[in-house]
Chain A
Amino acid sequence: MDVRFDQAGTSFDGRTAVHPLSLSLTERRIGIIGLNGSGKTTFARMINGLVQPSQGRVTVNGFDTGADGEAVRGQVGFIFQNPQNQIILPILREDIELGLRGRKLTRGQMQDRVNGVLARFSIGHLADRRVHELSGGELQLAALASVLVTEPPIVILDEPTNQLDLRNRTLVERTLRALDEDVLVISHDLPLIEDYDRVLLFHEGRIVADGRPEEVVAEYRKIAVS
């Protein structure tokens, strides 16, 4: 991935959610950690243009999140904290297809893409199931499939193992490890990011540590108990 923040920051209602920062993200697997309300999710949303910088500029693979919003969203898939909100239609197959509408694909091409992504995550048997019947882990995989069917090269996941039991957590963790796409994960689940290439620690809207997982996690522990 090639994500660049150029003095980019954002504020809402007079509160600075992310202070202006400059950095570039080029690693394949990046973790973002920090306390609740530290600015992690806002930072991630700035990457796919869901939140616009109130100052500075963010680019993703050469596309400006302000000027080329649609192109940026084609580059970055975003999995929300609650996958229920990610999935728009009640039947899984329909929902995955929805992401492909308007892309000038034939019916057959759409079917192939949907079947391909379902097979990739081994959830073909869930294709015609109602989304509210799925377990937490299945729902997370369904959300992943609905986003990756459009083949974005980068995927951001906001707390993907939140509220999952051990079995579902393991399932999601294994799936994430096998992803070919570049991954940026926001997580409170520290073991999930322990072998990532780079970890950013957010605190009060600023990046206060940036480096190898073990160093950054140690820093996080200090903040958490202070």
Chain B
Amino acid sequence: MRSLYVEGDSRLHRLSPRIKLILLIVVSLALFLTRSPIMLGGAAFAGALLYGSLGMGWREGWLRLRPILLTIAVVALATLMLNTVEEGVVVLLRLTTLMLVAAAVTATTPVGSFIGEISSAARPFERIGLVRADDIGLAVGLVIRFVPEVVSRYEILRQAHRARGLKLRPMTVIVPLTIQTLKSADEIAAAIDARGIRGHKPPSRS
């Protein structure tokens, strides 16, 4: 399996995962407090500088963001067509900034640290019986773990199409990709069970 984490020694790498997650939440909220294209443009520029400072090559940086950028472009285009040009630009800049900052946090934080932080954050809710904190952390960690896996499965399917001289069609990609991902999720769930990762109640011998 591939990882979204990029090894490095940047300031962001050294920052505690908790602070990074809090900053991400603050930035996300702040982006929705303004509608000024100039301010959002500045934020997007700052986000790009932050993302660019992580030490990964431009090509890798671009490849990681490409699928999300495509989605953002579609959303911005739809907004532009259904509303105003300004509205479309605001959506484009806001989501792009969010993507850049989130990608920077993901690239500088190992999945294990994410799991630890999210589990700690959910602990108060566990105390009042609402959730199992470790499950929440594990679920978030698994989502992050699966993103590059789905991308690499897509790449394999694309190559398989090329090798057989087939045209890439949504149905011939989405169906096998979904089946493979669900199958893999099933196997991971079995591994989680087999390794006893979820919960450890005191045993009662029969």
Which residues of A approach B to under 8 Å, CB–CB? 48, 50, 59, 62-64, 67-68, 70-71, 73-74, 77-78, 80, 82, 84-91, 93-95, 97-99, 101-103, 130-132, 146-147, 150
Which residue of B5, B119, B199, B204 is within 8 Å of A68 (Cβ)? Answer: B204
Taking chain A's interface residues, is the majority helix, strand, or loop, or is none over half, making it mixed?
mixed
Which residue from chain A places its CB closest to the CB of B3 in the assembled complex? A90
CB distance from B50 to the nearest CB of A (A): 23
CA distance A103 to B111 in the complex (A): 19
Q: Are B112 and A88 in contact (CB under 8 A)?
A: no
Residues of B within 8 A of A131 (CB): 1
Q: List 10 A-B contacts (CB under 8 A).
A: A63-B206, A67-B204, A67-B206, A68-B204, A74-B200, A77-B194, A80-B190, A85-B188, A97-B112, A98-B195
Please provide the chain B residues from 120 to 166 with a CB less than 8 Å away from any CB of chain A in the complex. Answer: 134, 141-142, 145
Residues of B within 8 A of A63 (CB): 203, 205-206
CA distance A93 to B116 in the complex (A): 14
- Known interface pairs A68-B206, A71-B203, A85-B184. Does A98 touch B196 (Cβ–Cβ under 8 Å)? no
Residues of A within 8 A of B184 (CB): 85
- Interface residues contributed by chain B, number (CB under 8 Å): 32
CA distance A67 to B205 in the complex (A): 9
CB distance from A216 to the nearest CB of B (A): 26
Q: Are B195 and A150 in contact (CB under 8 A)?
A: yes
CA distance A131 to B148 in the complex (A): 13
- In this complex, the member of A86, A88, A103 whose beta carbon has the largest number of chain B beta carbons within 10 angstroms is A88
CA distance A70 to B193 in the complex (A): 9
Q: Are A73 and B195 in contact (CB under 8 A)?
A: yes
Q: Are A50 and B193 in contact (CB under 8 A)?
A: yes
Question: For the complex, is B17 an interface residue (Cβ under 8 Å from A)?
Answer: no
Q: Are B112 and A62 in contact (CB under 8 A)?
A: no
CB distance from B174 to the nearest CB of A (A): 23
Which residue from chain B places its CB closest to the CB of A62 in the assembled complex? B205
Residues of A within 8 A of B201 (CB): 70-71
7 new A-B contacts, CB < 8 A, other than A68-B204, A102-B198, A147-B194, are A63-B203, A71-B201, A71-B204, A80-B187, A90-B145, A99-B196, A101-B197
Q: Are A88 and B145 in contact (CB under 8 A)?
A: yes
Which residue from chain A places its CB closest to the CB of B201 in the assembled complex? A70
Residues of A within 8 A of B192 (CB): 88
CA distance A87 to B5 in the complex (A): 16
Q: Are A101 and B134 in contact (CB under 8 A)?
A: yes
CA distance A73 to B194 in the complex (A): 6
Residues of A within 8 A of B111 (CB): 89-91, 94
Q: Are A78 and B145 in contact (CB under 8 A)?
A: no
Question: For the complex, is B64 an interface residue (Cβ under 8 Å from A)?
Answer: no
